[in-house]
Chain A
Amino acid sequence: MRAAGRRTPVLLALVSVALIVADTLTPLDPLRAFGSAVFGGLEDAASAGVRWAPGQHRVAELEAENARLRAELLAARRVTSSPAPADGYRAVPAHVVGFGRDGTVTVDAGSEAGVARDMTVFDGNGLVGRVLRSGPGTATVQLATASGASIGARLEGSREVGLVTGVPERGLLRLSLLNASAEVKPGDRVVTLGSRDMRPYVPDVPIGAVVAVEPAPDALTRTALVRPFARFTALGLVTVVLGPLPDKSGPDKSGPDKAKGA
């Protein structure tokens, strides 16, 4: 009986270790998909129960319109040339329904709404992050402040290019400019650089404002601390960019030039 009393715990501990090893070698995606199917639905239901109100349908309609308008605004903000088309974005609204401890949040829009990995997520204030993986009804979003996140960025005024990484313990971001002699001062706005095919990041989403310029010890890059515009501890309604508008993909080439001339 004593031997039996120890066998189960030891066996379970060994299974845990095996899971850790297996997940380190090859990510256990089926298990995570199962988790997001089961617990994503529960989180969604819990959050929807909290938000429930008589006029819920009307609120949902307004939220969808809001997301569309915000995406249009984002497209209209772009005044200089960049590799991505500038005509507009398809977007879906989503609520943040769960906050993780790994610099991630759950949103209540998943692959059924067209959300897939490496899509940009932003809210009314600025960039939130990118989609890490999506389940049927929910998706996991990696915040810009997560320790593993790195975002191509540029200064809005001087168009200097750099990289933004997370400083998770202080809720700040660190901007490393490639040009070591670039001019940067507190108050400068930082926006996303934009990725190829607009994944994971669409261009010109506001990220934050420079709060302090760090003294450069090696002078290879210029670094500054950036306070993000988005309030990561109080996220509510966010917008997920699905991609460019499909019908206007033809006259892409002339779009940026027109914008520049205006």
Chain B
Amino acid sequence: MKAVVLSLLVVLVAPVLQVAVVNGLALPGGGPDVVLVGVVALAPLLRPRAAGGGAGAFLGFAAGLAADIAPPADHTIGRLALVLCLAGWVCTRLTADATAGRRAAVAAAVALGATLAGGVLAALLDGTPWGTALAPGALAWTAGLAALVTGALALLPRRRSFGRVRGPRDRPRDPYAPGRRLA
């Protein structure tokens, strides 16, 4: 339930935050892609078996489609949906039971790959000049912020669960762990 609410928040708020705040700041080098960071950071927190194993992919697709149609966007619809769908899927699969450091590393790598793939698609589909599509400043911002946010989120719930009675949400996670190793 919490995951659904958080996903909805990323889908609705991240594109607005991107165009209304981040792009208006005129950060040196271009600024981060907040929607991508949101997907990459939230995907590891989703249960890998939820929604037929595609919870991360579904989150990425929805967020990407939202970013594709949120007003100032004037590129081919489906471009970001494709890239973020794959990014969300990879993140949920690779970081299911990993440490905070590994999650951050995977998030940075996925963010880097997704930004590059998105840039290539932008240049091919919409005729964006290669220099703008693959701007190194935006790459650095996105990868850095993705690693930071993912690492912070991975550390947060662990600390909180120390002071809490083990909730019913932690129990169904255990039986899956061996299954994942077999699979």
On A, residues with C-beta under 8 Å from B are 1-2, 4-9, 11-13, 15-20, 22-24, 28, 31-32, 34-36, 39-40, 42-43, 46-47, 97-106, 132, 135, 138, 140, 142, 147-148, 168-169, 233-234
Q: What chain B residues lie within 8 Å of A233 (beta carbons)?
A: 26
| Residues in B whose Cβ lies below 8 Å from that of A234 | 26
Q: Is B54 in contact with A104, judged by CB distance below 8 angstroms?
A: no
Q: Which of A1, A23, A140 contacts B78 (CB 8 A)?
A: A23
Residues of B within 8 A of A4 (CB): 52-53
Docked CA distance A148–B71 (Å): 17
Closest 3 CB pairs of A and B: A8-B54, A35-B69, A5-B53
Chain A residues with Cβ below 8 Å from B70 are: 35, 39, 43, 98
Residues of A within 8 A of B129 (CB): 147, 168-169
CA distance A35 to B77 in the complex (A): 11
* Extra inter-chain contacts (17) besides given A1-B183, A46-B16, A102-B75, CB under 8 Å: A5-B53, A8-B53, A9-B53, A9-B89, A11-B54, A12-B57, A13-B86, A19-B68, A24-B76, A31-B69, A43-B16, A43-B19, A99-B24, A102-B128, A103-B74, A106-B72, A138-B71
Report whether over half of chain A's contact residues are helix, strand or loop; otherwise say mixed: helix
- B21 neighbours in A (Cβ, 8 Å): 46
Task: Mark contacts of B1-34 with chain A using CB atoms, 8 A cut-off: 1 yes-contact digit, 0 otherwise.
Answer: 0000000000011011101110110100000000
- Taking a contact as CB atoms under 8 Å apart, the answer to whether B127 and A97 are in contact is no
B157 within 8 A of A: no
Stretch in contact with the other chain, from B58-66, B148-156, B159-167: B58-66
Task: Given A6-B53, A7-B52, A46-B21, verify A100-B82 contact (CB < 8 Å).
Answer: no
A115 to chain B, nearest CB (A): 13
Give, as a whole number of angstroms, the nearest-CB distance from A123 to chain B.
15
Closest Cβ of chain B: how far from A230's Cβ, in Å?
Answer: 14
Residue of A nearest to B84 (CB): A16
Chain B 124-149 interface mask (CB, 8 Å, partner A; 1/0): 01111101100000000000000000
B81: CB under 8 A from chain A?
yes
Q: Is the CB of A102 within 8 A of B125?
A: no
Inter-chain CA distance A43–B77, complex, in Å, is 19
**Known contacts A9-B54, A17-B82: A132-B69 contact under CB 8 Å:** no
Interface of B is mostly: helix
Q: Give me 18 A-to-B residue pairs in the complex whose CB atoms sit less than 8 angstroms apart, sorted by A's number.
A: A1-B183, A4-B53, A8-B53, A16-B85, A32-B69, A34-B69, A35-B70, A39-B69, A40-B71, A46-B17, A99-B24, A100-B23, A102-B128, A103-B74, A104-B74, A168-B132, A169-B131, A234-B26
- B103 contacts A by Cβ under 8 Å: no
Q: Are A148 and B127 in contact (CB under 8 A)?
A: yes
CB distance from B183 to the nearest CB of A (A): 6
A31 to B125, CA, bound (A): 18
- The closest CB in chain B to the CB of A21 belongs to B78
- Per-residue 0/1 for B162-183: is the Cβ within 8 Å of any A Cβ (1 yes, 0 no)? 0000000000000000000001
Residue B51, interface by CB 8 Å: yes
* Cβ–Cβ contact A99 & B23, under 8 A: yes
The answer on a CB contact under 8 Å between A98 and B26 is no
Tell me which of A6, A24, A43, A46 contacts B125 (CB under 8 A).
A24
Q: How far is the CA of A35 from the CA of B48 in the complex (A)?
A: 29
- Do A101 and B23 form a contact, CB below 8 Å, given A8-B57, A140-B71? yes
